[in-house]
Amino acid sequence: MFEAKLQQGGLLKKILESVKDLVVDGLWDCDGAAITLQGMDSSHVALVEMLLRAEAFEHYRCDRNVTLGMNHNHLSKILKCANNDDIVILKAADQNPDSCSLILESKNGEKTSDFVVSLVRIDTDQLGIPETEYSAHVKMSSGEFQRICRDLSQFGDAVQITCSKQDVKFSSSGETGKANITLTHSATVDKEEESVTVDLKEPVDLTFALRFLNLFTKATPISDTVTLSLSQEAPLVVEYKIGDSGHIRYFLAPKIQE
């Protein structure tokens, strides 16, 4: 059987919030080591990959690999019933389960709610993501990244990201004119979560659709920092760490000159 008990149900709520607007139906692959999810948006421009290792759970048992086809809107309805400090238990049978049980327990043990979510058949292409050496890595506050994407959306539907040795520039333009926001590599680091790190091998200059970046920033509550990995003519990677026990990575195909 598959059984996973998460002490802080709020984490699962946050994970779901960060994937459900991008991917409606997702395959949750469970094996002895971790739960993984990979899904693309309907236009095949963006992809989300989530990894949550067994260590994240208070109790984790997976006798046989099992794949749960989850409708994220249905799962979200159940998790709306959970408080952040509720315990969440996921349960499913071993072989081709057609449903998954979710049990919510209040912290004081006085309230238990249980739900059965019907699983869905999902025919989806899984993509092999190659190991890539990126030209630039930018690590920054996740809240600042969210702010920049939101602010620039007022000016255009795409953002140009340019990395040079010491800074990263986010630019957007449209009918109102042009907006540039430049972050400079932090000279001193007082608080790691507020500092900006630009690690550059080669300069990059890429353009991405802001609509998707704004969806990615739904993961902001998961981590204080975010890492952007960029290479010329390659998809952008936006990564949020889930503590020491996993990550949410978003991949976004660039817009290229016609």
Partner 1 sequence: GRKQTALTSFFKKM
In which residue are the tokens 């539907």 written?
A: 157
Interface of this chain with partner 1, residues 63 to 82, rule: CB under 8 A: none
Span near partner 1 by CB under 8 A; candidates 45-53, 99-107, 112-120, 134-142: 45-53
Provide the 8-state DSSP code for 69.
Answer: E
Report the distance separating Cα 176 and Cα 198, nearest Å: 30
CB of 125 to partner 1, least distance (A): 5
Q: By C-alpha distance, which of 149, 221, 155, 222 is closest to 183?
A: 149
Q: How many residues bind partner 1 (CB under 8 A)?
A: 24
Considering only 38-46, 71-79, 107-115, 164-172, which stretch makes contact with partner 1 by CB under 8 A?
Answer: 38-46
Single residue of 32, 33, 44, 184 touching partner 1 by CB under 8 A: 44
Of 133, 124, 140, 118, which is closest to residue 198 (Cα–Cα)? Answer: 140
| Residue 251 binds to partner 1 (criterion: CB under 8 A) | yes
Q: What angle do CA 237, 154, 40 make, to 5 degrees?
A: 30
Specify the DSSP class assigned to residue 55.
Answer: G
Q: Is 122 in the site for partner 1 (CB under 8 A)?
A: no
Nearer to partner 1, 116 or 129 (CB): 129
DSSP for 178-231 reads EEEEEEE--SS-SSGGG--EEEESS-EEEEEEHHHHHHHGGGGGG-SEEEEEE-
For partner 1, the binding residue among 45, 51, 120, 122 (CB under 8 A) is 45
Q: Taking contact as CB under 8 A, which single stretch among the options 13-21, 123-131, 141-149, 195-203 is the one that binds partner 1?
A: 123-131
Task: Give the binding range for partner 1 (CB under 8 A) out of 39-47, 78-86, 187-195, 239-247.
Answer: 39-47
207 belongs to the binding site for partner 1 (CB under 8 A): yes
Can you name the residues that pair with 243 across neighbouring β-strands? none
Interacting residue ranges for partner 1, rule: CB under 8 A: 40, 43-47, 125-130, 158, 207, 209, 234-235, 251, 253-258
